[in-house]
Amino acid sequence: MKDLIISGSTPQLRYWVASRPIPGEWISGDQYLVAPFPHGVLVAVVDGLGHGSKAAAAAEAAVAVLAEHAGDPVESLVQRCHVALRKTRGAVMSLATLNGLDNTMSWLGIGNVEAMLVSSCKAPGSSRKVSLMLRGGIVGDRLPPLMTASVPLYPDDLLFFATDGIKSAFIRDVRCVEHPYELIHQIFFRHVRGTDDALLLGAKWTRDEAMQDDMQNTNLFPEVGNTH
Ligand SMILES: [Mn+2]
């Protein structure tokens, strides 16, 4: 089952994605984007409303906008998606911009794609877990006031995103680990609901410009997730 997880990296981030459409569908409305830009990377997870091809179309429209404007502030990315998704079913999404110049992350969540930052096991002091504050709304239909939060980033910090096809209890199992692959695999199969599309993304902020050699699917260009 491990081949359901795909991995990739940018100069500053390694990431792993586990996803599966609702049984009976071949395309998922849950999609992701990891898009590097100079000195940073945008990570987004989008859940198109419902499931099937119309949900996927909404998610794809959002991902296309995000890929095109990856370095923009997160509020403006959400605004752009809101306009682009008006003719679609709409979507919920969480997105984070990780900035390598000042080592901060700006993140924003509309709807219920949960996101969590977990500090590196090597970080001094107690392990830090920070959840993204989500605000109700549907991108393409009605937006809440957009309030971006900013948090400091340290090398080897971990970031997790999960759509509502993953039970919220997944948060209990999120912890700092040296190699997130096994953890992501474990969390996905323990908490996947099976009654909706599901996507879990885990990422490690490496900050290091040196590329890792052992990566599969290494790709410096925006990578769009489209689960078949
Ligand atoms: Mn969903």
Mean pLDDT value across residues 2-25: 90
Query: In this predicted model, what pLDDT tens digit does every residue of 105-139 receive, in sequence order?
Result: 999 999 999 999 999 888 777 678 999 999 999 99
Centre of ligand 1 from the C-alpha of residue 20, in Å: 11
Which homologous superfamily is 2-198 in? PPM-type phosphatase domain (3.60.40.10)
CB 72 within 8 A of CB 55: no
pLDDT score recorded for residue 225: 60
Centre of ligand 1 from the C-alpha of residue 54, in Å: 13
Q: Does pLDDT of 141 surpass 50?
A: yes
Centre of ligand 1 from the C-alpha of residue 201, in Å: 14
Going 64 to 65 to 71 to 74, the CA torsion angle's sign is negative
Centre of ligand 1 from the C-alpha of residue 155, in Å: 31
Alpha helices in 166-211 (DSSP H): 170-173, 180-191
How far is Cα 222 from Cα 36, in angstroms, rounded to an integer? 7
Break the chain into its structural domains and give their ranges: 2-198
Residue 44 in tokens: 């987004």
Centre of ligand 1 from the C-alpha of residue 110, in Å: 13
Give the pTM: 0.89
C-alpha closest to that of 109 among 159, 62, 161, 153? 161
106 alpha-carbon distance from chain centroid: 13
Instruction: Report the SS3 class of residue 26.
Output: coil
Q: Which residue has the tokens 């419902």?
A: 50
